[in-house]
C-alpha cells in the first residue's frame, strides 16, 4: 500500500513538474530567448529533480571543486555585454530552484534554518539591492550584486542541506579536491612559465582559471587549516587519511610558491592556532613542519630567495605604494558618501575615473570595501557578521567539549581558518571576490550545522 502511494506521489510530482517545465521550454524555443546551455540546464534540473532529489545536497559538494574550472558559459545580455558564468554559480542556482520546487510540488511544510548570520546576510542583500537607486553603472552593479546574492545562497543552502555527518564528510572531500586542483594549477603555471623569475616578481599579471593568483592563494590558505583538522578528525583506520594529508602538503607548498605575503602570514598564524589547540597532535604537526622546511630547502631554494626578497621590500615595493594610493582614494570616496556609500560594484568605476586607470580592482580590505559600497550601513552589517561568527566559534567548541568532543578538532580547524580569513581579508581582496565568497559561505553554512550536531550526541546521524 505504501509502495503504491509512493508511486502515485512520484507520478503526481512528475505531472506537476511537466506542467511547469514544458510551457517554459516551448516558449523559450519559439521566441529564441535562451541558448543551448540554458535549455540543457532546464533538462538537467528536471531529471535531477525526478531521480536524484534526495541527493540535492551533492550539488553543493560539487560547487567548491567546480570553482577551479573558472568561467565556463558566456550568456549574451546585449551587443556590448556578455555575462560570464561559473559552474559553481550554476550549481547554486539549480540547487536553489530545486530546493524550493521540492517544497512546492510535494506540498511540504519546510522549516528553514534561519540564524543570526543568515538574517544579517539577508539584510546585506536588501541594502545592496536598495543601492540601485543611486548607482552610476548598472553592469558594475550586477557584478557586485552577484557576489552578495551568491554569498547568501551558499550559506542558506548549506544550512538546509549539509546537515549530517555523512554529508559533512562528503563536503570535506570536495574541499580537499578543491585544494589539490588549485595547487596543481599553480604548479602547472610555474612549469609553463619555464620556472621564470617572472612568477615571483610579476605575480600581479598571473591569472588562473579561478582568477588572479592572489585569490587562489587566499582560498588555499583559508582551506588548509580546515582539511588539516579534518585529517586529525578522521579515524586512523580510514584509508582516505593519506589523501587528505597529501592535499594539505601540496596546498601549503602552493601557497608559499604563490609568494602571497598576506596568505603566507595568515596561514602561519592559523596553523599556529591549531598547534596550540590540538595538544595531542603537536608532535605530528611539528614533524610535518620540519619535513616541509627540509624538502622546501632542497627543492625550492631559489624560490625562498624570492620570498625573502618580497618580505624585505614590503614597505618600499610598488605593491605597497599602490596600497597607500588605494587607501587614500578610498578615503576620498568614503568621506563624500559616508552614510550609504556609492553603491554595490561602483567602486571599480570610480577608481578607474579618479586614478585614470584602464582597469581597476577591488579594495584590499573588506572593512574598507563595505564602507565604500554601503557606507556605515554596510560596515555595521559586516561587523555584525564578524561578531556573529566569532560567537558561533566559542559556543560550538564549548558545546562539543561538553558532549564528548567528537567534533571539537574539526571546529578548531574552522577557528583556525577564520583567523586566516580575517587577517588575509585585511590586506587582500577576499570576501568580495566571487570565488572566495562562495567557498567561504559554503563552509560557514556547514560550520553552523556542525555546531548544531556538536550540541547533541547524534554524531552518527
Q: What is the pLDDT of residues 139-162, one digit of tens each?
A: 899 989 999 999 999 999 999 999
Q: Who wins on pLDDT, 280 or 358? A: 280
Q: Could you read off the pLDDT of 94-103 as tens digits, one per residue?
A: 899 888 878 7
Tens digits of per-residue pLDDT, 332-369? 889 888 889 999 989 988 888 888 776 778 888 899 99
> Taking the domains of the chain in order of start, what are their residue ranges?
2-111, 122-454
- The percent of residues in the chain predicted with pLDDT above 90, rounded, is 35
pTM assigned to the model: 0.86
- Percent of the chain's residues with pLDDT above 70: 76
Handedness of CA 15, 19, 23, 28 (dihedral sign): negative
Q: Tell me the pLDDT band of 63, cut-offs 50, 70 and 90.
A: very high
Q: For 318-329, how does the pLDDT look when each residue is reduced to its tens digit (9 = 90+)?
A: 666 777 888 888
For residue 206, what is its C-alpha cell? Answer: 598571473
Reported as a pLDDT band with limits 50, 70 and 90, residue 190 is confident
Helices (H) and strands (E) in the chain, counts: 18, 4
Mean pLDDT (the chain) is 81
Contact criterion met (CB below 8 Å) for 69 and 86: yes
Q: What is the mean pLDDT of residues 246-259?
A: 86
**Residues 432, 374 contacting (CB under 8 angstroms):** no
C-alpha span between 346 and 342 (Å, rounded)? 6
Closest by CA position to 218, among listed 259, 180, 249:
259
pLDDT tens-digit readout, 398-452 = 776 666 566 888 889 999 999 999 999 998 889 999 999 999 999 999 998 888 7
Pairwise CA distance, residues 179 & 251, whole Å: 6
List beta partners, residue 71. Answer: 86
The C-alpha atoms of residue 16 and residue 114 are separated, in whole angstroms, by 29
Amino acid at each position: 500500500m505504501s509502495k503504491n502511494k509512493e508511486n502515485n506521489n512520484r507520478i503526481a510530482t512528475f505531472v506537476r513538474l511537466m506542467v511547469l517545465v514544458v510551457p517554459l521550454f516551448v516558449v523559450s524555443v519559439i521566441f529564441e530567448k535562451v541558448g543551448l546551455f540554458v535549455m540543457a540546464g532546464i533538462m538537467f534540473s528536471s531529471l535531477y529533480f525526478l531521480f536524484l532529489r534526495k541527493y540535492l545536497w551533492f550539488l553543493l559538494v560539487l560547487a567548491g571543486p567546480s570553482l577551479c574550472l573558472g568561467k565556463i558559459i558566456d550568456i549574451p545580455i546585449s551587443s556590448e555585454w556578455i555575462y560570464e558564468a561559473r559552474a559553481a554559480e550554476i550549481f547554486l542556482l539549480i540547487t536553489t530552484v530545486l530546493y524550493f520546487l521540492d517544497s512546492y510540488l510535494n506540498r511540504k511544510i519546510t522549516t528553514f534554518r534561519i540564524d543570526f548570520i543568515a538574517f544579517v546576510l539577508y539584510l546585506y542583500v536588501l541594502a545592496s539591492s536598495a543601492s540601485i537607486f543611486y548607482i552610476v553603472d548598472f553592469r558594475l552593479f550586477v557584478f557586485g550584486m552577484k557576489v552578495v546574492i551568491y554569498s547568501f545562497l551558499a550559506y542558506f543552502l548549506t544550512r538546509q542541506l549539509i546537515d549530517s555527518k555523512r554529508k559533512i564528510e562528503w563536503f570535506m572531500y570536495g574541499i580537499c579536491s578543491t585544494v589539490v586542483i588549485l595547487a596543481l594549477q599553480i604548479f602547472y603555471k610555474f612549469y609553463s612559465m619555464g620556472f621564470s623569475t617572472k612568477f615571483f616578481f610579476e605575480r600581479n599579471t598571473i591569472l588562473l582559471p579561478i582568477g588572479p593568483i592572489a585569490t587562489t592563494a587566499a582560498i588555499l590558505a583559508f582551506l588548509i587549516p580546515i582539511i588539516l583538522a579534518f585529517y586529525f578528525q578522521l579515524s586512523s583506520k580510514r584509508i582516505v587519511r593519506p589523501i587528505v594529508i597529501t592535499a594539505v602538503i601540496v596546498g601549503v607548498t602552493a601557497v608559499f610558491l604563490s609568494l602571497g605575503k598576506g596568505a603566507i602570514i595568515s596561514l602561519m598564524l592559523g596553523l599556529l592556532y591549531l598547534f596550540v589547540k590540538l595538544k595531542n597532535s603537536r608532535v605530528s604537526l611539528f614533524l610535518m613542519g620540519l619535513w616541509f622546511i627540509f624538502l622546501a630547502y632542497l627543492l625550492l631554494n631559489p624560490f625562498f630567495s624570492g620570498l625573502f626578497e618580497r618580505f624585505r621590500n614590503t614597505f618600499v615595493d610598488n605593491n605597497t605604494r599602490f596600497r597607500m594610493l588605494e587607501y587614500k582614494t578610498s578615503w576620498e570616496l568614503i568621506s563624500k558618501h559616508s552614510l550609504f556609500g556609492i553603491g554595490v560594484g561602483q567602486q571599480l568605476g570610480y577608481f578607474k575615473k579618479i586614478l585614470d586607470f584602464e582597469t581597476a580592482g577591488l579594495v584590499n580590505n573588506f572593512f574598507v570595501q563595505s564602507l565604500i559600497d554601503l557606507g556605515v550601513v554596510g560596515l555595521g552589517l559586516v561587523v555584525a557578521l564578524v561578531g556573529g561568527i566569532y560567537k558561533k566559534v566559542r559556543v560550538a567548541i564549548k558545546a562539543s567539549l561538553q558532549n564528548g568532543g567528537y567534533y571539537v578538532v574539526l571546529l578548531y580547524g574552522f577557528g583556525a581558518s577564520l583567523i586566516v580569513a580575517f587577517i588575509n581579508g585585511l590586506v587582500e581582496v577576499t570576501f568580495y571576490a566571487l570565488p572566495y565568497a562562495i567557498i567561504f559561505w559554503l563552509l560557514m553554512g556547514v560550520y553552523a550545522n556542525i555546531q548544531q550536531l556538536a550540541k547533541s550526541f547524534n554524531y552518527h546521524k
